[in-house]
Amino acid sequence: MPVYCYKSDSGDTFEIQMSVSEMERRESPSGMILHEGQWLKRDYQTELGGFGGSCSTWPVVSESAGCHPSQIKEMQEHARKKAGVALNFTPDGRAIFESPGQRKKYLRSVGIRDNNGGYGDP
């Protein structure tokens, strides 16, 4: 289900998850929506603007590209030496990818292929 970004008059950003039909029903032609008693304006720049906005899909936490917690230091060193990226892991060993480029370099370095990936994915 899509996530839409809206801003209040005070500049607070709200992420609202709803279906397209619900968004079309609730949103006015000017991009305003009544949410929790206040009017919010659709924030297309944050919603579609790439990786800097609060609605970005990055960072991505990957269990499949992770490792055992005892191997975190070893895998961080491997990522730095073989893939040229500074990769972090959660305490339970899941890989934290900060960008598509970082993900692509690391997955290639460890021989992981994403069969569900999109254009440019390894």
* pLDDT value of residue 52: 46
User: What is the full DSSP assignment across 18-76?
Assistant: --HHHHHHHS-TTSEEEETTEEEEE-HHHHHS-SSSTT---SEEESTT---GGGHHHHH
* pLDDT value of residue 119: 73
Q: What is the pTM of this model?
A: 0.54
77 in a structural domain? yes
Domain that includes residue 36, residue range: 3-48
* pLDDT value of residue 53: 44
Tens digits of per-residue pLDDT, 22-69?
A: 999 999 888 899 998 999 999 888 887 654 444 567 788 899 999 999
121 in a structural domain? no
**Judgement on whether residues 66 and 43 belong to the same structural domain of the protein:** no
